[in-house]
Structure 1
Amino acid sequence: MLHNAWLFRPFEMFVEMYGLPNYQDLDPTPFVAVTFCLLFGIMFGDLGQGALLLIGGLLLEKWKHNRLAGIVGRAGLTSMIFGFLFGSVFGVETLLNPVHQSLFGVREKLFEVMDASATMPLLIGAVAIGAVLILMTMILNIYLNVKRKQMAEALFSQNGIAGFVFYGYIILFLIGMFMPKMLPFNPGSKPLMILFIGVPVVLFFLKEPLNGLMKGEGLTPHQGWGNFALEEVFEVLEIILSFVTNSLSYLRVGGFVLSHAGMMLVVMTLVKMTGNAGPVVFVLGNLFVMGLEGLIVGIQTLRLEYYEMFSRYFVGNGKKFTMISSENA
């Protein structure tokens, strides 16, 4: 039985859809709530539309006790925050310019999504957010495996300490390559690369023998060293490729920011073309984008939660508590 504060409670639905935590695990609902709202808000950043999601979602949650409506309402709040930062109100991209100029001291507005110069920073920022979330889920996995006393998984797996060191150092290496002044050392030096990249790769390779050694079963793999080496070479390659694909998967966050802004640009163009019918087109266009884009962004955010985050730390093999009788409750 899950118990969470009012702010997080609707997100129990997503956890239950995947699987309940067992008694050795933690309830991921608060983490899901924060990360889902963050990613949804970035991809669906519009102050006006976010306000409608917030008001409509919270009202439906109160009247119908609908958890999905509660999720929509909370995601609407972060949509408003990022919509304000992007300077977008129902697709009108210039309405908040005076506010941005006053608060942030910029010439027009803080961040122009549709500007060609903003595309690359937006995509890099999306991957950076993904990298931080991947590292956070690794920390959760390490903690949970230590709690389960599965030390080999905590130390040597791709989501354990070895994976954390490997992936974290790759991030530092990329920062040093493109922004060398940000780091006080050279991450490309051979000793550091051997220590923080080479050693973790060796630990990935030897995880099974080291696990057997820690359990007192000996270092020799059950299938022999020849078969073991052949299998593990491909396993290690798959691990390295998975880090790349998992990171690039967060490009969709930046992509949907552009997609949402592009759809609203089409709506605003149609408003100008339709003359007196412009207000009607404006309302219908906003409703259409909210329905279609909101649904797609919600699905993509849930996909990131399940496949890029839950798969790293959450088992979900708990059993739902069912009260046999409520007479003595």
Structure 2
Amino acid sequence: MEKKYVEKHKGKEFSLMRAEISNNFKDKLLVELSNINAVHIRAKETPKIKENLDLKNPLLEKIKKLRENLDNLFKKLEINPFDFADLNVEKKDRPEFLADDINNLISHILEDIEFYTNRFTELNRYISKEIIELEHLKIIRLSYEYLEKIFLSRESVSNLNHFNFRVFTTFSKNLSNLKNLFEFSEFPNFYEIFEGTEDRIAFFIFYPKDKEDEFNGRIRLIHSEEVPILKRYLTKEGVNLSRIEGEISYRDQELSRYRNELQRIIDINMLKFAGINEIVQNIEEYNWAEHQFEKTFSSRLVLKFFVPSFKKKEIQDRLFKTFKDNIVIDTIDIHKDQPTYEKDTKKPGIIKGLKEGETLKESKSEKTKAHEEKNDLRNETPTVMKNSFIFRPFETILKMYGIPTYSEIDPTPFIAITFPILFGLMFGDVGHGLVLIIAGLLGTIILRKRSKDTRNMSWIIFYCGWAAFFVGFLYGEFFGLHGEIEFFGNVLFEIHPIWVNPLEDIMSVFYFSVIIGVFHLNLGWFVQFLNYWKQKRKYLAFTDSFIKILLLTGGTVLILGFGFDIDVWITFPFPILLTVIPGLLLLILKPLGKIFKVSYLQEESIGGLIGEGSIEAFDTVLSVMSNVASYIRLLALALAHIALLTSINAMVNLVEGEGIFVEIVRLIGSIFGNLVVILLEGLLVFLNSMRLHFYEFLGKFYQGSGIEFFPFFLDDDYSTMVFRTGTERDIISEEIDKEFEVKSSKEEISKAVDYISEKYS
């Protein structure tokens, strides 16, 4: 189920909030944060050894067992969690789950699941028994209906002094074995086969009583099932079919009664099942959140979480109102344009590595600064992607690459513009564009109850359809046709290229593809320029991003304007300087930045910056050439698209003849061919458009290593989870708890020693 956080942020800044409470208020704090529904809990750093020990945590085992038991119950009851979506429950009608703590809650839920599982097991046992009895009676009825034809009666059965009379059913595949086993020359008998049920046959057989042992040995070879000849079904006159029908009717009624009872249990408890399922989901979420608490030196608990800055005061007031003097709250505002570090709350101690007479300030080395950079809170702060409804669907494509970090620009609006354009240039056709537009609209309507990403993909197809539609006019293509568009011999309209048909002027489209590639790459560096500027690294914005834009643009003008004639490059007005000057600037500007005391370049040496600049300049020149060449696929796929449609139309026109029937055959062939192109080549074009954005565009500037804002929230659509409020502990109780904590710590240390010994022995 999707999270319910819907409130829009007025600002994009977050604050880190640190809440300190006593252990007995832990559960209540998590429930309160869930009700706030605007809190992103910060994940606690856990040592690797601790993670391995936590895998054997009894609580995790209980939660795992809880999920397995619930899934098994739903599987037995044939309940799908999607069935709960139609439930509309008032808050006062939602079942309440009251507990002292998480362990107590899990125990209650396990008891409920066990109760319903036992009810189902008992009912299912009765249902299975009735099904078996009913199937058995149906076989008896089928067999006795046939035996009635041979005038079988109670008297005729009792008169068989020297022969046994028995009836069996077996699988149809055993028919040949049956004939071989009861060949008269091998075993004296008389049998007759008659129709059974579905894949089974039935037969009756007479054989001598003194051959009983031999008969039993033979009949076992075909895995048959005997139909009993019961006197209660036989009268002096013949077979008592009415009694058999009566027993079948009774079993049918009993089976229906049990099944109705099972369905009644499901129906009247559907809300309870929905509540249990929701509570189990909440427990899984809750368990993760509970493990993010840290212990202080005074054995109190600390939880750190990010909140929108504009809601900071509101959340603080709410927590103080709920917990009064039982909570301590600290906050740190995290700005996007400057590093923010968390204050060290640990007790002071001996600082290792401090030389005699050296102060802490003097000992701060480059390694320490690098560590601070690593602990910049912006690296852990979640990101809220805020885009208009027009651009929002393209967030799905961006998330495939990664979430924007807290301090960088969200490139979704740029992708929302360039993605459909590149798609349209490779898939330009008015008719195909219309098909994609209609398909996208139908997808948004039909799939409106599906996941957000599924709906977004429908909107992306819709936008790409419009791009293909408009580019189709530039190419003059309508379902692969151009010029006069005929339908059943009538000219509907004419379509001609507004710009150029790629098949007729390949070089024009080639140059255009190169220009599009240069523009797209420069757009990536422009976004990088904006990121540097936003992060107050204006020197890097000019010496890195801007110089690269000049280098690529100068190289493009040099090649497209002056060709590959080196003599022309080095004669007046010396066009080669369009690339040489930006290249040299890329080499020397960063070292100059250190000389000019640019703060964020001071950690590197001049030699390191020169080496970095040389490598970066060399890499930029090589990568740019391959990047621009990659955009030639715009031409290649546009040509392939038009050529495929031309081939399909040519094959359709191979159907010779006149008349309405021939026109219908051609129409069907054209529809089928166009659908194949739309599906297969449409997918290929879509993937290539993604590739151009992932490798050529985003790779130039985008980190994509951010964390999406995911508010801690416990669903309450079908249930209410309530923890009893804790009370203040007296001094003796607290001392006893400390003794238990010491004992628990010793046990954890012992487990850690055992783990290390086992791992590295």
TM-score using structure 1 length: 0.83
Q: CA deviation at 1:261?
A: 0.4
SS in 2 for 1:314: coil
Structure 1 CA distance, aligned partners of 2:608 and 2:503? 56
Q: Does 1:140 align with 2:564?
A: no
Question: Given residue 394 of structure 2, which amino acid in structure 1 is its aligned partner?
Answer: F
User: Where in structure 1 are there 5+ consecutive unaligned residues?
Assistant: 102-107, 179-185
Contact 1:100 1:110 in 2 (8 A): no
SS in 1 for 2:541: helix
Q: CA deviation at 1:218?
A: 8.0
Matched residue, 2:555: 170
Pick closer, same or farther for the CA change 1:41–1:170 going to 2, 3 Å.
Answer: same
SS in 1 for 2:708: coil
Contact 1:88 1:95 in 2 (8 A): no
Q: CA deviation at 1:198?
A: 2.5
Pick closer, same or farther for the CA change 1:325–1:30 going to 2, 3 Å.
Answer: same
Q: Does 1:10 align with 2:399?
A: no
Q: CA deviation at 1:173?
A: 2.5
Worse-matched range after superposition: 309-318 or 47-56? 309-318
Pick closer, same or farther for the CA change 1:165–1:68 going to 2, 3 Å.
Answer: same
Structure 2 CA distance, aligned partners of 1:223 and 1:248? 32
Contact 2:590 2:613 in 1 (8 A): no
Structure with greater helix percent: 1
Matched residue, 1:50: 433
Structure 2 CA distance, aligned partners of 1:112 and 1:174? 25
Q: CA deviation at 1:264?
A: 0.5
Question: Given residue 441 of structure 2, which amino acid in structure 1 is its aligned partner?
Answer: L
Pick closer, same or farther for the CA change 1:234–1:147 going to 2, 3 Å.
Answer: closer
SS in 2 for 1:95: strand
Aligned pair partner of 2:442 in 54, 59, 66? 59
Question: Given residue 44 of structure 1, which amino acid in structure 2 is its aligned partner?
Answer: F
Contact 2:502 2:635 in 1 (8 A): no
Structure 2 CA distance, aligned partners of 1:274 and 1:80? 29
CA deviation vs aligned residue, 1:238-266 (integer Å, no higher than 9, x gap): 22111211111111111111010011111
Contact 1:49 1:89 in 2 (8 A): yes
Q: CA deviation at 1:24?
A: 2.0
Structure 1 CA distance, aligned partners of 2:393 and 2:484? 33
Q: CA deviation at 1:174?
A: 3.3
Q: Does 1:92 align with 2:481?
A: yes
Matched residue, 2:226: none
Q: CA deviation at 1:85?
A: 1.9
CA deviation vs aligned residue, 1:69-110 (integer Å, no higher than 9, x gap): 111111001111111221111111223697557xxxxxx875
Matches within 5 A, 1:192-203: 193-194=576-577, 196-203=578-585
Matches within 5 A, 1:70-219: 70-95=459-484, 99=494, 110-115=499-504, 118-151=505-538, 153-157=540-544, 160-177=545-562, 189=572, 193-194=576-577, 196-206=578-588, 209-213=591-595, 214-215=598-599, 217=602
Pick closer, same or farther for the CA change 1:233–1:284 going to 2, 3 Å.
Answer: same
Q: CA deviation at 1:36?
A: 0.4
**Coordinate RMSD, CA, aligned:** 2.9
Q: CA deviation at 1:284?
A: 0.7
Q: Does 1:299 align with 2:687?
A: yes
SS in 1 for 2:557: helix
Contact 2:437 2:463 in 1 (8 A): yes
Pick closer, same or farther for the CA change 1:92–1:162 going to 2, 3 Å.
Answer: same
Contact 1:162 1:200 in 2 (8 A): yes
Structure 2 CA distance, aligned partners of 1:317 and 1:131? 26
Larger Rg: 2
Pick closer, same or farther for the CA change 1:187–1:310 going to 2, 3 Å.
Answer: farther
Pick closer, same or farther for the CA change 1:173–1:30 going to 2, 3 Å.
Answer: same
Question: Given residue 205 of structure 1, which amino acid in structure 2 is its aligned partner?
Answer: L
Question: Given residue 478 of structure 2, which amino acid in structure 1 is its aligned partner?
Answer: V
Worse-matched range after superposition: 74-83 or 63-72? 63-72
Question: Given residue 525 of structure 2, which amino acid in structure 1 is its aligned partner?
Answer: M
Question: Given residue 321 of structure 1, which amino acid in structure 2 is its aligned partner?
Answer: F
Pick closer, same or farther for the CA change 1:315–1:16 going to 2, 3 Å.
Answer: same
Question: Given residue 124 of structure 1, which amino acid in structure 2 is its aligned partner?
Answer: Y
CA deviation vs aligned residue, 1:23-61 (integer Å, no higher than 9, x gap): 322221111011001010111011111101001112211
Worse-matched range after superposition: 73-82 or 165-174? 165-174
Structure 1 CA distance, aligned partners of 2:671 and 2:637? 21
Aligned length: 306
Q: CA deviation at 1:14?
A: 0.7
Question: Given residue 650 of structure 2, which amino acid in structure 1 is its aligned partner?
Answer: T
Structure 1 CA distance, aligned partners of 2:609 and 2:644? 58
TM-score using structure 2 length: 0.38
Matched residue, 2:199: none
Contact 2:482 2:495 in 1 (8 A): no
Contact 1:57 1:70 in 2 (8 A): yes
Pick closer, same or farther for the CA change 1:27–1:282 going to 2, 3 Å.
Answer: same
Question: Given residue 445 of structure 2, which amino acid in structure 1 is its aligned partner?
Answer: K
